[in-house]
Structures are given as structure tokens and as C-alpha cells.
Structure 1
Amino acid sequence: MSQKCPRCGFIHNCYCEAIPTIASDLCFTLLTHPNEPSRATNTGKLIDKLFDDCTITEWQRKSPCERCLPDTSPYSPVLVFPCEESVPLAKWHQKQQGAKSNFIVLDGTWQEAQKMLNRSAWLKLLPKVHLDSAELSQYQLRRNQEPGNLCTFEVCAEITREVGNEHDANAMLTFFEDYLLRFQAERSGHALTR
């Protein structure tokens, strides 16, 4: 019987060697819905493998993550979520004038992410940005996705692109396309054949 890879957890389709080296020093905080860590389809865990400054923390309705608060975060916290008061990411980035941002991404289904925002007064107080992406999602592992909705991994790749690191964003999306093929083969219990 084959062994699980201790790093990626796959048996037949280890993707460790496919993980790209990302030069970006972006900071991400993934606020994860309590249901998300147990889902095999979670893509936030991949961001943690790519970026040195990535923290994954479980969302708490009333207890904010200190890394997400303006007074305790080492960088300017900004929630990545499209809504009426959100501004385009490019506009936010330009206004920061080189100061580093802590990009907070709600990691869950779109329905869960909306509930997380609606139920947390502390999240509502954060500045918000939205992406101007016209990219179509490659992610087809969950049902009930609406057109234009990107998964957590794709959101982080698009942030990387919009702050000016096209090379890293392209490397991320090439890896993600390969990962999705490996994931489907792994879920079917066989090695990917090319």
C-alpha cells in the first residue's frame, strides 16, 4: 500500500515538486469558516504553502483575530470582499504608497463568507477592496458557484496580479491548473496519467 506524502497528504499524485517559488512578500490572513478545514476541496491551504507571510485562522464571530485589527496588525488590514463600500484593489494599493497591506480573505463558500461578514461587527469596520478581475474560475470542485466567483486560491492569485506581480500570479495559476488535475485523479484513487 502506498504512503501518504507527509507534506501534501496525497498518496498517488504528490504535488510538492510542482509548488512554485513565489518571490512576492504579500501578507495574507485567511479567516476560515469552521466548516472549511475538513473539506478536501479547501484551496486556502495551498496559499499557506506558497507565501511566507500567510496565516490561517478560524473565524470567530465576536473575537477578532488580532492580526486583522488596525491597532494590532503589523500591516494595514483590508478585507477583500466585493460590496457597496469596497474600492478597487488598485486604488487601495496606490493610496498605500508602498506601505504593506494585510489582505484578509474569507475562506469558505461564498454563502458562508457573506454570513461571516454579516455576523461580525468587527469585520464590517475594516476597509474593503474588490478585485477587477475578468478571469473565469478554473475551480469546479463545488456546486452552486455563480459566474465570477473565484475560490480562495484564485482570489490570492488575482491580488498578486493586481498589485503588480504578473509573473508570480501566472505561476500560481499554472500550478493551480495542475493541482486540480492531480486532485481529481487522487479523489478517484489513481495516479494522474498525461
Structure 2
Amino acid sequence: MQIILLTHERELTRKTNTGRLALDAFPAKVMSIVWSRVAADKNLIEILASQQAKLLFPAEDAELANDRIEMGLSEHGLQLMQTDPLSQPAMPEQVVILDATWQEARKMLRQSPYLKAAARISLPPQTQQSTFILRRNQQEGGLCTAECIIALWHQYGCDVQATVLASLFAQLNTRH
């Protein structure tokens, strides 16, 4: 699975950008496109329109990525484990994640018709809140970018990558 971070321009200079952790650690699996309201990336529009990629964003009509997940903490940080490994869903080829604050992400969605029209997946309702402590005014029940990637990778059997990213996230989250 390739992760495409659609990154808000303000996120590029934030020291608390957790998407950067995944980009730096997994350049073959994670890429970033800077979002622009007036100059949308044509390739991204095409892959979303053809449903080769799905947008990870909460919605009532979103496909639930996998509901057989439980969340817990370990020495490596946030860990999501499948409770029934036989129920693993088909892995999407590409997943687009809006790499921004929740307020900015909603604005990106509202101002981008191609994002509004994209097929969506969402994470199952979490039993535990985000562990991200470096930003104020977090959305209730919302996860940061790294936590979303960790959850997706665990759900689709990419446990080694998820564990590495969870460790990097835990280090960032306690360092600042």
C-alpha cells in the first residue's frame, strides 16, 4: 500500500508534523503532495476519480477499513492489533491522507471538489483517544497523521512498518 500525504502548506514548516516521520522512514511507501486550492495535482485527481486510491477521512458513507481491531499502548507507542487475522480486508493500492490540522483538513476537503467526490475509507471507532500531545485543540476522537498510518498498516498486515513508525512517533511525542 502506498500512502499519499496531501499536505497543507503550513504543515511543511511545523516541527510537530508527524507525517514527516513516515516520509523520512519509508520513502518507498509514503509520498507527499502539497495541497493547492488553485493548482490541484492532476495525477492525484485522476487516481482518486478512477478509485485507484481512497481518501482516509471520516464520513457516514465511508468504507470501514477493518472493524476487528483493538488498540493499546506498548513500549513502542500506539499499537493496533487485529483480533481476527483471517478477516484481513483487501489492501487498497493507495490511500490519501490529509496531512494538516483537523481545521485545515476540513477546509481542504470543502475547497476541493475532487476530494469531496473521492471514495473514502475510515478507521473503526477507536476505544482509546490519540496519544498525540504536541498540539492544542485536537478534535475529539481524531488521530494525527502518524497514528492514522500506524492504524492502516496494522489493519492491512504491515506490522513491521507500523511498529517502526509507532516507535518514531513515541520518540517525537515525548521529545518536545
Q: Does 1:127 align with 2:119?
A: yes
Q: Indicate if the aligned counterparts of 1:76 and 1:102 stay in contact, CA closer than 8 A.
A: yes
Deviations 1:111-168 (A, max 9, x none): 1101100111111111001001434312111111133111111111111011123343
TM-score (normalizing by structure 1)? 0.70
Match of 2:7 among 9, 20, 32: 32
Q: Indicate if the aligned counterparts of 1:68 and 1:102 stay in contact, CA closer than 8 A.
A: no
Alignment correspondent of 1:168:
161
Q: Indicate if the aligned counterparts of 1:41 and 1:141 stay in contact, CA closer than 8 A.
A: yes
Shift in Å, 1:62: 4.2
> Any unmatched runs of 5+ in structure 2?
68-87
> Any unmatched runs of 5+ in structure 1?
1-25, 185-194
Alignment correspondent of 1:84:
60
TM-score (normalizing by structure 2)? 0.76
Shift in Å, 1:53: 2.6
1:176 alignment partner, SS class: helix
Q: Indicate if the aligned counterparts of 2:21 and 2:165 stay in contact, CA closer than 8 A.
A: no
Q: Indicate if the aligned counterparts of 2:49 and 2:114 stay in contact, CA closer than 8 A.
A: no
Deviations 1:73-125 (A, max 9, x none): 9981110000122110138x83xx46x52110001100110110011111111
Q: Indicate if the aligned counterparts of 1:67 and 1:73 stay in contact, CA closer than 8 A.
A: no
| Percent identical | 31
> What is the alpha-carbon distance in structure 2 between the residues aligned to residue 134 and residue 66 of structure 1?
37
Q: Indicate if the aligned counterparts of 1:46 and 1:153 stay in contact, CA closer than 8 A.
A: yes
Report how many aligned residue pairs link the two structures: 154
Alignment correspondent of 1:114:
106
Q: Does 1:102 align with 2:94?
A: yes
Q: Does 1:47 align with 2:22?
A: yes
Cα RMSD (Å): 2.5
Alignment correspondent of 1:142:
135
The structure with the larger Rg is 1
Deviations 1:20-71 (A, max 9, x none): xxxxxx2011111121112111111111012213221111224332342345
Report which structure shows greater RCO (CA 8 Å, sep ≥6): 2
Which letter does structure 2 place at the counterpart of 1:108?
A: A
